[in-house]
Amino acid sequence: MEKKITIAIDGFSSTGKSTVAKGLAKKLGYVYVDTGAMYRAVTLYMMRKLFVTETNFNKESIIRHLPFVSLRFKYNEEKGFAEIYLNNENVEKEIRYLEVSQQVSKVSTISEVRKMLVKQQQEMGKEKGVVMDGRDIGTVVFPNAELKLFMTASTEKRAQRRYDELVERGDEVEFEDVLKNVKDRDYMDSTRDDSPLIKADDAIEIDNSDMNLEEQFDKILKIVNDKIEAVNS
């Protein structure tokens, strides 16, 4: 019986981590966990409570209300991936709004938030056969993962991808606002005290600035298959 591995995919926002992770999980028959969706769902909950607004960030209230946040993933056969539910409500669409993107990095800096979600993520992946993407998967959540990837691309390319995605969905956004959001998130993710975004020493870096989705997936799938073959040899 083939041994399954843990695949940890980290990197900057809008590098296509989730797209690649979903594709790999489907191809391999692995479980996919979108950790970014978990942080976004917590952020959405706190925004609805008005603990997080453009002018207010109430860290104490956020920490105090964490026990009231219940997260779970439910597989959507039609879409081919698991969607996230916040307190039994499907919030897959709402968590992708730019307003949530503008606040999620701030909420993610809170140690209590990270500890709660990291514990859940480790529980989800303890049986291996999992593809997990985020900011600290290879460094904190699964430091012993058999395969670690770190995805990056130029700031402008990532902002353009995010802008195109939002416009295609029908959101009214300005490119400059999206670019600023990408830069702000890069800074906050990379400089936070708890589990900052860094490339693990044993991670393979993938710069997809000049790759399309198919080229990127083919390159990464070969790396994955080589690793699985090595583990089972």
Please give the pLDDT value at position 141. Answer: 95
| Amino acid (one-letter) located at 40 | R
Question: Is residue 173 assigned to a domain?
Answer: yes
What domain range is 179 assigned to? 7-225
Question: What are 33's strand-pairing partners?
Answer: 132
pTM, whole model, 2 decimals? 0.84
Question: Is residue 230 assigned to a domain?
Answer: no
Please give the pLDDT value at position 204. Answer: 98
CATH code (residue 93) = 3.40.50.300
Question: Is residue 203 assigned to a domain?
Answer: yes
Indicate left, alpha or beta for 4 from its phi (over 0: left) and psi (-120 to 50: alpha).
beta
Question: Is residue 199 assigned to a domain?
Answer: yes
Please give the pLDDT value at position 53. Answer: 95
| 3-state DSSP percent of the chain in helix, strand and coil, to 5 | 50, 20, 30
Question: Is residue 1 assigned to a domain?
Answer: no
Could you tell me if 48 and 146 are in contact, meaning their C-beta atoms sit under 8 angstroms apart?
no
Q: How many domains does the chain have?
A: 1
Please give the pLDDT value at position 27. Answer: 93
| Amino acid (one-letter) located at 125 | G
Give CA–CA dist 228/233, Å, rounded: 9
Residue 91's nearest CA partner among 46, 41, 134 is 41
Q: Which residues contact 112 (CB under 8 A, 6 or more apart)?
A: 63, 66
Question: Is residue 2 assigned to a domain?
Answer: no
Question: Is residue 75 assigned to a domain?
Answer: yes
Rounded to 5°, the CA angle 85-90-96 comes to 95
Question: Is residue 233 assigned to a domain?
Answer: no
| Residue indicated by tokens 């770190």 | 150
Over its length of 233 residues, how does the chain's per-residue pLDDT go in tens digits? 889 999 999 999 899 998 999 999 999 989 899 999 999 999 999 999 999 999 999 999 999 999 999 999 988 888 777 899 999 999 999 999 989 999 999 999 999 999 999 999 999 888 899 999 999 999 999 999 999 999 999 999 999 999 999 999 898 899 999 999 999 999 998 998 888 999 999 999 999 999 998 999 999 999 999 999 999 99
